[in-house]
Amino acid sequence: MSQLLFDYLNQFMELTSEEQQVIAGLDLFQNLPKNTILLKEGQYSTSSYFVLNGCIRCYYLVDGEEKTTAFYTELQALEPPCAITRQPSDYYIACVEDSIILVANDAIQKETFEKFPRFESLCRIFSERQLADNQASFDHFKTSSPEERYLHLQNTRPHLIQRVPQYQLASYLGITPQSLSRLRSRLAEKH
């Protein structure tokens, strides 16, 4: 799994063999089974996550109902707001399927940045990219209909439709599972 990470990082910054050895020696990789909860509402955390394989999701519990806000799959990073604000988490993070993720905390990041200052620039690039992606996703969600959201998801992240349970996908799209079934049927009839 280290090589998958190194290949990804090398797209942005070529790593030296020393940097690769340090990263490989940090023991950051975790194999987690489906349904593992990484963070619960009300918990404190300083961890950030990078998905190497699998799928994790963020969701809120609103009146006992799960409201999915995001899915993270291969080569996507997530830093929960509570890791920055030092406040308790407002939401949950859980594995949708068996996953291999990299988990880093403040101490690991500080140590790595001290040894390799250029990693801080790399993290800034990732953060900027993630912020832009999140804003675009939010804007699209607010300005589109459920059908447009589904079609956009089908075009941009079709693998989610096959990998994620329908009730989670419906919640992510802001509709009920029944509405999602009707929407899929209506779209199938058009083709």
Stretch 76-99: mean pLDDT = 93
What tens digit of pLDDT does each residue of 43-82 get?
Answer: 999 899 999 999 999 999 999 999 999 999 998 989 999 9
Question: Would you say 149 and 141 are in contact if contact means Cβ atoms under 8 Å apart?
Answer: yes
Q: What is the pLDDT of residue 68?
A: 96
Q: What is the pLDDT of residue 4?
A: 80
Pick the more confident residue, 10 or 180. Answer: 180
Stretch 12-32: mean pLDDT = 84
Question: Would you say 116 and 19 are in contact if contact means Cβ atoms under 8 Å apart?
Answer: yes
Confidence of residue 1 (pLDDT cuts 50, 70, 90): low
Stretch 28-53: mean pLDDT = 94
Does 18 score more than 90 pLDDT? no
84 by DSSP, 3-state: which?
Answer: helix
Confidence of residue 189 (pLDDT cuts 50, 70, 90): confident
Stretch 73-102: mean pLDDT = 93
Cα-flanking dihedrals φ and ψ of residue 149, to 5°?
Answer: -65, -45
In the chain the domains, ranked by start, together with CATH numbers, are: 2-117 (2.60.120.10)
What tens digit of pLDDT does each residue of 98-155 get?
Answer: 999 989 888 888 888 888 888 888 888 878 888 898 888 889 888 999 999 999 999 9
Strands laid side by side in the 29-32 sheet: 29-32, 99-104, 48-53, 76-78
Confidence of residue 92 (pLDDT cuts 50, 70, 90): very high
- CA dist., res. 117 & res. 122, Å (int): 9
Cβ-based neighbours of 170, under 8 Å, separated by 6 or more: 176, 177, 179, 180
Does 191 score more than 80 pLDDT? no
